[in-house]
Homo-oligomer: A and B are copies of this chain.
């Protein structure tokens, strides 16, 4: 295993230390237990947003803490859920008196630990609503999941719900927007290589030199099938078609097209995927009204990409366009 790390046991803490030092105008860290929150603390009267999950998917979630998005993020160990004892103080810290929305990717450990944390926070009189993201169309049930997995679409939920909170929606309203985004976003990914969890030191799965895994999970969970390597346009179609069909996209609809890198893929390749995904959507009569391309929900150094499509309406488009100022997303 070749990584720019010290003791793997310290990787998450040291990375968070570097992250908050580099972005001290936006975020601050708490170390016992560990979570990241907005500088200056909760915004009075605004619904707070908290997300979290296993580390290894950076910039998700700490990279999305800041104005217009999350108020706190809770990193677990690599590919492992944060504990309720970690999550609960983040929920409390994010409460500006208007309650907190927890955004949870649909993995069994995350869902359970957030549930317990919500009970702990509620015992401290913090009102919490939870929205579970499950945008991955590749498989029903998976290694760590009952039902569909939450993957890159989570970024869309966090961005748009964050904008809804910023405009003053109440907790039920922000939760409703988040639920609506999750209902209208779908993703599917491909892996060209496995990644290596630092604590294990070995690739998380074996993939022959001439094969790719279609429908890969962000922890290297199995997808739909393995195929021989194909040109990017063919692989992209294997990702885009199931997404478009699951969304029942109709001609004339507007969408956000989001091509996400898994961590080890050059951005030049992501744009090749984007180019073909956009062509395929346009061939369906779908209008790509907004775009996002880059490494936003990664699997350490995995090579691969995912394609996410979010059906837009005027309200969601406006919330997407609203100002955001985080380490990883800003406009």
CA A239 to CA B313, docked complex, whole Å: 49
Q: Are A22 and B56 in contact (CB under 8 A)?
A: no
Contact with B along A12-25 (1 / 0, CB 8 A): 10111111011100
Q: Is A291 a contact of B23 with CB atoms below 8 Å?
A: yes
A-side interface mostly: mixed
Contacts of A276 in B (CB 8 A): 18
Smallest CB–CB gap between A240 and chain B, Å? 13
A273 is an interface residue with CB less than 8 A from chain B: yes
Residue A295 lies at the interface, judged by CB distance under 8 Å to chain B: yes
Answer yes or no: A55 CB below 8 A from chain B CBs.
Answer: yes
A interface residues, how many (CB within 8 angstroms): 63
Is A265 on the interface with B (CB-CB < 8 A)?
yes
A18–B295 contact, CB under 8 A?
A: no
Q: Would A15 and B271 be within 8 Å (CB), given that A2-B192, A264-B303 are in contact?
A: yes
- Interface locus among A3-11, A42-50, A83-91: A3-11
Which residues, 286 to 331 on A, are CB-close (under 8 Å) to B?
288, 291-293, 295, 298, 300-301, 303-305, 330-331
Contact with B along A29-69 (1 / 0, CB 8 A): 00000000000000000000000000110110001000000
In the complex the two chains form, what is the Cα distance from A16 to B268 in whole Å? Answer: 8
Q: How far is the CA of A257 from the CA of B266 in the complex (A)?
A: 23
* Residue from B55, B192, B292, B298 in contact with A3 in the complex, judged by beta carbons closer than 8 Å: B192
Interface residues of A (CB under 8 A from B): 2-7, 11-12, 14-19, 21-23, 55-56, 58-59, 63, 190, 192-193, 209-210, 212, 229, 231-233, 235-236, 257, 263-276, 278, 288, 291-293, 295, 298, 300-301, 303-305, 330-331
Q: Which 7 residue pairs of A and B lie closest in terms of their CB atoms, listed nearest first?
A: A18-B271, A18-B275, A4-B269, A15-B268, A22-B291, A264-B264, A18-B274
Q: What would 22 A/B residue contacts be, using CB atoms closer than 8 Å?
A: A2-B192, A2-B303, A4-B232, A4-B236, A4-B272, A6-B233, A14-B271, A15-B275, A17-B271, A17-B275, A18-B276, A21-B274, A21-B275, A21-B291, A22-B278, A23-B291, A55-B268, A56-B268, A59-B267, A63-B267, A266-B298, A301-B303
